[in-house]
Chains A and B, each alone.
Chain A
Amino acid sequence: MSSQTLSTILFLVFVAATLGITFWASRQTKTAADYYAGGRSFSGAQNGLAIGGDYMSAASFLGIAGIIALSGYDGFLYSIGFLVAWLVALLLVAELMRNSGKFTMADVLAFRMSPRPVRTAAGVSTIVVSIFYLLAQMVGAGALVTLLLGVTSETGKALTIVGVGVLMIIYVVVGGMKGTTWVQIVKAVLLMGGATLVTLLVLGKYGFNLSSLLGDAAAKSGKGDAFLNAGGKYATEAQGLAGKLDLISLGLALVLGTAGLPHILIRFYTVPTAKDARKSVLWGIGIIGSFYLLTLVLGFGAAALVDSKAMDKAGNTAAPLLAKKIGEEIFGAVGGTVLLAIIAAVAFATILAVVAGLTLASSSSFAHDLYAHVFKRGNVTDKEEVLVARISAFVIGAFSIGLGILAQGQNVAFLVALAFAVAASGNLPAILYSLFWKDFNTAGATSAIYGGLVSALVLVVFSPVVSGSPTALFPDADFSWFPLSNPGLLSIPIGFLAGWIGTRLSKEHNAAKYAEIEVRALTGVGAEKAAEH
Chain B
Amino acid sequence: MTTRQHDASVYEQAQASERFQDLKRRFRAWTFPMTAAFLAWYLLYVVLSGWARDFMGTKVLGNINVALIFGFLQFVSTFGIAWAYSRHMDKKIDPIADEIRHEIEGRTE
Contacts and interface: CB of A to CB of B under 8 A. Distances in A.
Interface of A: 73, 76-77, 80-81, 83-84, 86-88, 90-92, 95, 209-212, 214-215, 218, 225-226, 228-231, 235, 243-244, 247-248, 251-252, 255, 275, 278-279, 281-282, 285-286, 289, 292-293, 436, 511-513, 515-516, 518-520, 522-526, 528
A368 to B, nearest CB: 14
Nearest to A219: B63
A255 B39 contact: yes
B63 A523 contact: no
Contacts of A247: 46, 49-50
Given A293-B75, A518-B15, A523-B100, A282 B67 contact: no
Given A516-B8, A522-B24, A523-B23, A92 B31 contact: yes
A528 B2 contact: yes
B38 A522 contact: no
B53 A230 contact: yes
Contact of B67 (A73, A90, A211, A255): A73
B3 A230 contact: no
B92 interface: no
B78 A86 contact: yes
B52 to A, nearest CB: 9
B95 to A, nearest CB: 11
B70 to A, nearest CB: 9
Q: Is the interface of B mostly helix, strand, loop or mixed?
A: helix
8 contacts: A86-B82, A214-B68, A225-B57, A230-B50, A282-B83, A436-B28, A523-B98, A526-B5
Given A73-B68, A83-B78, A512-B8, A229 B46 contact: no
A292 B74 CA distance: 12
A87 B32 CA distance: 12
Given A230-B56, A255-B42, A84 B50 contact: no
Interface centre among B45, B78, B104 (most CB of A within 10 A): B78
A523 B24 contact: no
B29 interface: no
Nearest to A274: B97
Contacts of A231: 49, 53
A111 to B, nearest CB: 9
A525 B31 contact: no
B65 A229 contact: yes
Q: Size class of B's contact patch? A: 35 or more
Contacts of B71: 76-77, 80
The 3 closest A-B pairs by CB, nearest first: A211-B62, A230-B49, A244-B50
B76 to A, nearest CB: 10
A216 B20 CA distance: 58
B101 A523 contact: yes
Contacts of A226: 57
A218 B64 CA distance: 11
A248 B46 contact: yes
A91 B23 contact: no
Contacts of B51: 244
Nearest to B97: A523
A87 B8 contact: no
Interface in B52-99: 53, 56-57, 59, 61-65, 67-68, 71, 74-75, 78-79, 81-83, 85-86, 89, 93-94, 97-98
A243 to B, nearest CB: 8
B5 A87 contact: no
Contacts of B49: 77, 230-231, 235, 247
Interface centre among A87, A210, A513, A525 (most CB of B within 10 A): A525
B3 to A, nearest CB: 6
Contacts of B34: 91
B50 A522 contact: no
A525 B109 CA distance: 12
A229 B64 CA distance: 10
A212 B71 CA distance: 18
A526 B2 contact: yes
Given A91-B85, A92-B35, A512-B12, A218 B65 contact: no
A230 B63 CA distance: 15
A87 B82 contact: yes
A228 B86 contact: no
